[in-house]
Amino acid sequence: MQPRAGDKFYKRNSTNFYKDQHYLHLVFEDLTVVPQTEEKRTLLEVGSGVGNAALPLLEINPALNIVAIDFADSAIDLLKTQPLYDMARVSASVCDITKDALPDAVFANGGVDFALLLFSLSALHPDKMKAAVKKVVAAIKPGGKLFFRDYGRYDQAQLRFRSGCKLQENFYVRQDNTRAYYFTTEEIADIFTEAGLVPVENEYIRRQYANRLQNVVRFRVWVHAIFEKPPTATDTTQK
């Protein structure tokens, strides 16, 4: 998603397009762990949108703070109007991960414990993905984890694109000018291991959804992955 297209998208759809994601604590269980000490954990969400993914986690884990970044000004403005937005626990900033430095809040405690990329990497141009990921990984503390979920190769949405929507192999532009790349697990392994992470999980999720009223069946494919930064990794949490 390009910044201008992203702004138009959120101005048009407000907070109504995406539903709050209440499954993350089930698939990324580390986000629910409350430390026995009073120490807080910090989650960096890249491409936060209006906060549908990260903000519900605040209710589940009282020890979790969030740094949310998105390159759409309107998305961050809307995030700050959400009922769950708490300035004491959430720092939200406009940031284009492909060219901007990460905000100071990321490094306030020597880096973040977790990073979340939820259907956000696919919006970047393929040539910019690896550099963006390395920037995120540099902000993760040794022993921290990165949680990933995004579009998988041959998802039905990919197969339905017209030829004129194809920008390059497996990379497409939608009618609203937002963009989407469709990954393989091998590509994800390559991107994140090259950045210095170790795979914990990396698999396809395949789902079939039937609409009986419309007699339509949709086949969805996503890549789900968890990567860990080695505990002995050199601390690179500097901008």
Q: pLDDT tens for residues 71-83? A: 999 999 999 999 9
pLDDT digits (tens, 9 = 90+) for 131-142: 999 999 999 999
Can you list the domains of the chain with their CATH numbers? 3-228 (3.40.50.150)
Q: At residue 123, does pLDDT exceed 80?
A: yes
Indicate the SS3 state at residue 214. coil
Supply 230's token pair: 């080695």
Q: Are 216 and 210 in contact (CB under 8 A)?
A: yes
- Categorize the per-residue pLDDT at 21 as very low, low, confident or very high, splitting at 50, 70 and 90: low
Q: What is the DSSP string of 59-106?
A: HH-TTEEEEEEES-HHHHHHHTTSTT--TTTEEEEE--TTTSPPPGGG
Q: At residue 90, does pLDDT exceed 90?
A: yes
Least confident of 37-46, 143-152, 212-221, 229-238: 229-238
Residue 239: predicted pLDDT: 47
pLDDT digits (tens, 9 = 90+) for 143-201: 999 999 999 999 999 999 999 999 999 999 999 999 999 999 999 999 999 999 999 99
Residue 237: predicted pLDDT: 44
Contact residues for 235 (Cβ-Cβ < 8 A; gap 6+): 110, 111, 141, 142
Q: At residue 212, does pLDDT exceed 80?
A: no
Q: What percent of the chain has pLDDT over 90?
A: 79
Residue 113: predicted pLDDT: 98
Q: Are 70 and 47 in contact (CB under 8 A)?
A: yes
Residue 238: predicted pLDDT: 47
Neighbour-count burial of 159, counting CB atoms closer than 10 A to its CB (0-12 exposed, 13-18 middle, 19+ buried): exposed
Q: Which amino acid is at 121?
A: L
Residue 2: predicted pLDDT: 54
Distance from C-alpha of 6 to C-alpha of 200, rounded to nearest angstrom:
32
More confident residue, 101 or 239: 101
Distance from C-alpha of 69 to C-alpha of 67, rounded to nearest angstrom:
7
Q: Are 65 and 57 in contact (CB under 8 A)?
A: no
